[in-house]
Structure 1
Amino acid sequence: MIARGIMLGPNQPMILHLLDIAPATEALNGVKMELPDAAFPLLKDITETCKDVNIAIMLGGFPRKEGMERKDMMSKNVPIYKEQASALEEHAASDCKVLVVANPANTNALILKEFAPSIPEKNITCLTRLDHNRALSQIAERIKVYVTDVKNVIIWGNHSSTQYPEANHATVTSINGERPVKELDTDDLWLKNEFINTVQQRGTAIIKARKASSVLSAASAPCDHMLDWVLGTPKGIWLSMGAYFDGSYGIPKDIIYSFPVKCEKGKWSIVKGLKIDEFSRAKMDAIAKDLIDEKEVAHSCLN
């Protein structure tokens, strides 16, 4: 997808820097052999360093396994992201844009931010675009429209089963104009229950169905995230992005949290002034508490 221009547009030549841990070296070499075989016109070179990278997509991490406590998982991931942050701090371009995909994505991104202080804090993000895309598709399926007709859902908080997918500000565009989702689907019970639960548990449902994690959608979402961040979001449309924000909407500043953002000229800005009802407030605050607790667990692993 990247080499075809899906992530940065059809006119951006690139050098791919591919790194992995030692046990995966043989498989990575296979990937490096196949990329030239595809004769991608945008792919100019492949290397195994992170020197001068402008974009870093961090896929590596230790997944939570059955029976593991949260601290057990964090004790594995904290040193990984401390080491990767140090490498980026030393070798990456000063304007490097970072996207953390591996879970727990929010806290992994926070650790990376702390150990790569020369990278601007606004350039360190985590992925909630997969959940954002899932929310768009669930509404489109429910209302029976094309997914491109739906816009401005929000994923508040984190990429986990405690995230809060919200459709209060989402709209649908048709030949009759643009209308709020809540006008087209007046079943408030669906929006506050089944819709939220389906988006939260979609990854688990896919694992159950195919006996493995999401692949195509999980690869597409980082491309969407970066494309909008680098080239900008269309007017009137926002995306969900986990980043180090400014305390907007009453959320503490010292965590990585997903908000609605719009992008222009390679920079993002938070969508301001959205009305937050009591139901949403409670969900958003609960996620913030979870992320603060997770941050404390991560710091205890550092100590």
Structure 2
Amino acid sequence: MKYAVQKPSWRHGEARRKLPVPFSWLRFLLLLLCSLMLFHLLALLVSASGASSGASSSVSSGASSGASPGASSGASSGTVYVVTATFPRPEQEADLLRLAQTLMHVPFVHWVVVEDAKVKTQTVVELLSRCGIRYVHLLGKLPEEMRAQPHWGRVPRGVSNRNTGLRWVRQHATDGVVYFADDDNTYDIRLFPELQRTRRVSVFPVGLVSRQGVSSPVVKDGRVVAFFDGWIGGRKFPMDMAGFAVSVDWLRQNPEAEMPYKAGYEEDGFLKALNIGRDELEPLANNCSQILVWHTQTQKVEPFERTNLADFVDTNIVYLTKHLMQKTR
């Protein structure tokens, strides 16, 4: 007796209907297992890729800053205390606003704003309260005797502010870095992660200083060997105020270090009081080959004239005029 052999049909859907039920469940479980294994493999690949990228970034960051003395080990990774000396004037709010717009992008900054004034300027109070930056607002008025007896005809403006800021940092911080950021300079966002690498005293170039165009340490083989500045003036450290940073630890180890009331020699006096040698300075910014801060002085504005507001009652001009007059004290 002959039996007819039925050939399998591979038309769409037909094979599925003729397969036994247990085989369908087995195929489903196999597919599920394969999918889980594939998902796990992809997760491992992504994790490995992220770790590789992080390691690459870390190496790149270290290389870009040069082989400064000890800068790659033991450096601070904490808060950068940005001490800004300011005083009431027509340009004050605009200058502080511009600086705030930069600092808003740096999450590890603590802004120490010190005014040379008897009372805090209301526009500064309002600006600091809305900018979203960690801050402290202090008063550091210049002593009248220093104002009455200027050095070389120049009032040492900013010294009382910065010394007040230094005292506050010594009292409230144990780690991190101190940097003096004047409100009328321009700062590259890349500067602030560089500052975190400071172990004792770090240094870097400042653009638009003097007719030479830049004030900078002279770096050779990763070490500071001299200084390039438009005015040496017998200074041991002929540098701009924006061209160095100090670790909080080193500042606390030198509790008497502060800026002298001597116009033109504030930086030099402070750095000498920190008991640091030239060969111990730590060059940042790719061995001081990059300019990350610029000495862009704001054009001075003459004091505003008082306006007769009788013709502007119940208008916005009254508010605007009173707002601007706060800066002329």
Which structure has the bigger radius of gyration? 2
Whether the TM-score (by the shorter chain) exceeds 0.5 is: no
Higher relative contact order (CA 8 A, sep 6+): 2
TM-score (norm 2): 0.24
TM-score (norm 1): 0.25
